[in-house]
Structure 1
């Protein structure tokens, strides 16, 4: 086969262009230090880099969650620590520690006033905020969780911490909202909303079946339910046997949600009892901090659908810190709540609310104070352990994030030295190709004219 000069020049030009293309790529590599520009150039590395970037994004999300949880837990711990200091002051020799059988009325009054002042300090601490959240509100962090009821007892989210009685009266859940009916005659009632085109809002109460019916026009919202109830401050049951007082009705929650026309399963009640208080104390709010979130597919109705070991609980209900209920379970006996207990001690010192002072009568309350104080200290230690755990977790996540980023860099980028060597080799190859071309290609007419 005859090889012509034209064939040689064509082949040479193709090879030279290929060498130039490799040189340009090497130059780009040296400048950008990227291992590839498109996924098709290195599919394996591109897929690995995508996975690493996703892992890094998750890691950043976990770090953010841990950071927020750690800061919140730090606030919780320092707040409980301040409460412990107040309790230590209360138990000191200038207050509870000075109570004995020889105290006169003036001394007892001074001690009582100091105790009530310390109560106010504790109440302020219990309503501490972290950002826009009340840290001791459990699952409800938008409003101050603690207040004082008409009888002087502490209320948690409107509920007496001694008895579980709802201060506002009969209450029920409806369609993402909480309706407070107030009148205890509504205890055990369910609510049903009906809608129809052009209907005039009205309400009726079936005393036999204990159903409160609200009739509204089509397209009504929760706020319309409240308006219909408020329009009837006094309501008589359909059989005329019961008269209800709706003058204090209120609705909290989602007022703009379209009404639900099904009969509600929740019934109205004016007390949640000790079981309800226990549920409030056990409330949990989970945060995904990278522990390997797992779902319990076989969870029952009273079980969490999320495996608790795979998340972190950031909720600290205030009554889990300062206690609830009474020693004898009566609701009127010695309180397990340290705020109310301090009030009972102050009442005894002043001889109020049916108490007559004697050292024998007050001593069990002083002993109970010591026990409840120790429980608060135990809770402080628990939150400190949680803070330490979160700090360690954050450090581990930061280290893991650095390692993921390093792997991603090694996958997507090349070392500058390697890039420079590669460029130098390609430049050498290109220059060599030019030199060979000068040797094998025939001189042109213009070359002869030089």
Structure 2
């Protein structure tokens, strides 16, 4: 079999190209610290890595959503605590003092009434607090301020009189709004039931209608169940020409009772905050776990990668040296 010079050169160029390609691949593995850089190198690992990347980015979205919900809930808790502090202030400073005989002059009662009305306005402002561009206590309608207190003392929630009588159409509207939910997916496996409704255990409900915190409607005695309205009634009693101590005492008892309901809402927010903290820890742990899985699938053993690179570098240098001896003296060099 005769081996021509062209055949040697052709075979040499093919092998040299292979050496260069192997060197480039091993160099890329070292620089990127990845075991593969294209799907063609390892289709099975590439498919698994793609799934892990989707899980990782989904987990990242859940963490960002949770942080946003947590910030929103912190603002809700701060606003309710402001209202609670005002309730405590009224109960502490304008209850026994107003009933005290030395404070029953019209001038003193008027000053107490003015202070309570100021607190009443401040409560409404706190309950109309917003986070970014969403009102915190507006239920599912976060684009409009939920509470409005008119100059006549009428309080409305999303346009509905908050002191509607039980059984009326307005009361039914208030009851429906008090049960509104606003679910967000925090990685708990969001699911829908047969009626296309969110399964409550698979999502987090961040809705907090303000009327759940301060009450709505009237009780069986016809007395308002709303904290802000009762505050206004206290001021009305103090401003009356004849001060009715018994009526003021009944209103203050009701006011204190509604204040306890407000504290219960704050406690529920605390429970939700604890749940969010636990969920945040779970998502952080999931992120670490996914990163470890991604590293095991895509990552490269650096010691092995550097060894392979050094070997391919050696093979490439050897191939170059071989190239200098391919065009050794031939038959042509001996022709005269």
Q: Which runs of structure 2 are paired with 1:436-447 in the superposition (5 Å)?
A: 443-445=328-330
TM superposition shift of 1:434: 6.2
Q: Contact 2:56 / 2:287 at 8 angstroms: preserved in 1? A: yes
Of 195, 211, 220 in structure 2, the residue corresponding to residue 328 of structure 1 is 220
Q: Which residue matches 2:198?
A: 306
User: Does 105-114 or 138-147 show the bigger shift?
Assistant: 105-114
Q: Which residue of 2 aligns with 1:417?
A: 303
| 1:304-383 to 2 correspondences below 5 Å | 305-328=197-220, 333-351=222-240, 357-383=243-269
Does residue 393 (structure 1) correspond to residue 279 (structure 2)? The answer is yes
Give the drift of 1:12.
Answer: 5.8
**Alpha-carbon separation, structure 2, partners of 1:444 and 1:423:** 34
More helix by share: 2
Helix, strand or coil for the counterpart of 1:377? Answer: helix
Identify the match of residue 296 of structure 1 among 193, 196, 205: 193
Gaps of 5+ in 1: 166-270
Is residue 142 from structure 1 mapped to residue 143 from structure 2 by the alignment?
yes
**Residue matched to 1:29:** 29
For residues 176 and 164 of structure 2, the distance between their equivalents in structure 1, rounded to whole angstroms, comes to 14
Tell me which residue corresponds to 1:246.
none
SS at match of 1:155: strand
Q: How does 1:73-84 map to 2 (within 5 A)?
A: 73-84=73-84
Q: How far apart are the structure 1 equivalents of 2:11 and 2:225?
A: 95
Task: Indicate whether 1:86 and 2:121 are aligned.
Answer: no
Q: Distance in 1 between matches of 2:164 and 2:280?
A: 41
Change (3 A) 1:112 1:448: same
1:70 aligns with 2:102: no
Partners of 1:97 and 1:321 in 2: how far apart?
Answer: 25
Task: Answer whether contact 1:101 1:359 (CA < 8 A) is retained.
Answer: no
User: Contact 1:96–1:111 at 8 Å: present in 2 too?
Assistant: no
Q: For the residues of structure 2 that align with 1:284 and 1:126, how far apart are their CA atoms?
A: 18
User: Which structure 1 residue ranges, 4+ long, deviate > 6 Å from structure 2?
Assistant: 434-439, 446-449
Deviations 1:339-391 (A, max 9, x none): 00111122222227xxx633333322221111111111111111122223223
Q: 1:281 aligns with which of 175, 178, 185?
A: 178
CA contact (8 A) 1:112 1:349 kept: yes
8 Å CA contact 2:140–2:207 kept in 1: the answer is yes
Q: How far apart, in 2, do the equivalents of 1:446 and 1:338 lie?
A: 112
Describe how 1:219-230 pairs up with structure 2 within 5 A: none
Cα RMSD (Å): 2.9
SS in 1 for 2:188: coil
Alignment of 1:51-62 (within 5 A): 51-62=51-62
Stretches of structure 2 that go unaligned for 5 or more consecutive residues are none
In structure 1, the residue matched to 2:97 is 98
Please report how far the alpha carbon of residue 88 of structure 1 lies from its aligned counterpart in structure 2 after TM superposition.
0.8
Task: Give a deviation string over 1:264-297, Cα, whole Å, max 9, x none.
Answer: xxxxxxx633232111111111111111101112
CA contact (8 A) 1:12 1:437 kept: no
> What is aligned with 1:173?
none
Instruction: Output one character per residue of 1:140-193: Cα deviation in whole Å (capped at 9) or x when no partner.
Output: 11111111246412111111111169xxxxxxxxxxxxxxxxxxxxxxxxxxxx
Tell me which residue corresponds to 1:49: 49
CA distance in 2, matches of 1:311, 1:89: 37
Which structure's relative contact order is higher, taking Cα pairs within 8 Å and 6+ residues apart? 2
- Once the two structures are superposed, what CA deviation does each residue of 1:7-30 show, in whole Å capped at 9, x if it has no partner? 994796354543343223222323
Q: With structure 1 as the length reference, what TM-score do the two structures score? A: 0.66
Cα distance in 1, alignment partners of residues 119 and 151 from structure 2: 19
For residues 446 and 108 of structure 1, do their structure 2 counterparts lie closer, same or farther at Cα, with a shift above 3 Å needed? farther
Which residue does the alignment assign to 1:265?
A: none
